[in-house]
Structure formats: C-alpha cells, structure tokens
Amino acid sequence: MASWLRRFGVRLAVFCLLIAGVLATHLAVAKSRLPFVVFGTLDRALTIAERDQPSVAPTHTLMQVLALYEAELVVICDAASDALDHELARLDTVLPQHRAAALVYVQHHLDRARGDLAHSTTSGEAAEYDATCERLRDVRRLLA
C-alpha cells in the first residue's frame, strides 16, 4: 500500500512540475509540441519502472524481523565498542574536566545497567546486563 502511495505521490509531483513547465514554456516561447513529448516520455518511463517492480512485497514473519533487527543491533554495538576502545586508547590526551564529566556519565549508565540487571527476567538478559556492567566498571577504572 505504501509503495503504491509513494508512486502516486511521485507521479503527482512530476505532473504538477510538468504543468508548471508547460505553462512556463507557453508563456515564454511558443513550443507547443515539447511538453507533450516530455509527458509521453515520462509516462513511458514510469510505466516501465512500475512494470519492473515486483507486484507483491515480500512478507516476513515476526521472528525474521526480530532477527534482522538483532543483526543490525549487533553491528551497531560492535561499532560503538570499537569507537569506545579507540577513545580509551587516547585517554591520556583528554582534559581533566572532560574525564570527570565522562566518569559521571559512565557512573550514571552503570547505575542504570545495575537496575536493569536486578529486573532482568531471563538468564540471557542477565548475562548481557552483567557483561555491560563489567565493561562499564572497566571504563570507570580507566577514567578514575
């Protein structure tokens, strides 16, 4: 449904743009054939593009969608961990006031992770929060 609406919106925008172009060309120079050639060309191009698109969008089960999100989250978390390691490697160049601010920030997140660990419902969730707490404690030791 959304792709149909998107295509309709694109066609409507192109149509309005072409109408404005037709009016501008008729006002400026009398080239009566040009707008109709443009209309025909765009209509053929949009028809070909619409025909080449699959008519039915692939459907996913809830588990497939969750697996896709989990894969994206793993990539994001790995990138964030790498960025943190990079910043920690150059920790000796950080100003003392920035270190203190980072220490407060890490302590805040450590407190939140401890609260989440206390309220975790599964052993896998508890293991994740425990690993997060341990990582934050390591960062806190480096900052202190």
Geometric angle at alpha carbon 47, from 51 and 36, rounded to 5°: 170
Q: What is the mean pLDDT of the chain?
A: 79
Supply the pLDDT for residue 35.
Answer: 61
Q: What is the pLDDT of residue 71?
A: 92
- Which DSSP string do the residues of 12-67 spell out, in sequence order? HHHHHHHHHHHHHHHHHS--SHHHHHHHHHHHHHHHHHHHHS-SSPPP--HHHHHH
User: Please, which pLDDT band fits residue 72 given cuts at 50, 70 and 90?
Assistant: very high
> Is residue 133 within 8 Å of 113, Cβ to Cβ?
yes
Query: Per the structure block, which two tokens stand in for 83?
Result: 């960025």
Is the pLDDT at 54 greater than 70, yes or no? no
34 pLDDT higher than 60: no
Check whether 5 has a pLDDT greater than 80: no
- Check whether 40 has a pLDDT greater than 60: yes
- Dist CA 135 CA 142 (whole Å): 11
pLDDT at 117 over 60: yes
Task: Find out whether 39 and 59 touch, Cβ atoms under 8 Å.
Answer: no
What local confidence, expressed as pLDDT, does residue 28 receive? 53
Q: What is the mean pLDDT of residues 102-116?
A: 90
Greater model confidence, 81 or 8 = 81
pLDDT band (50, 70, 90) for residue 29: low
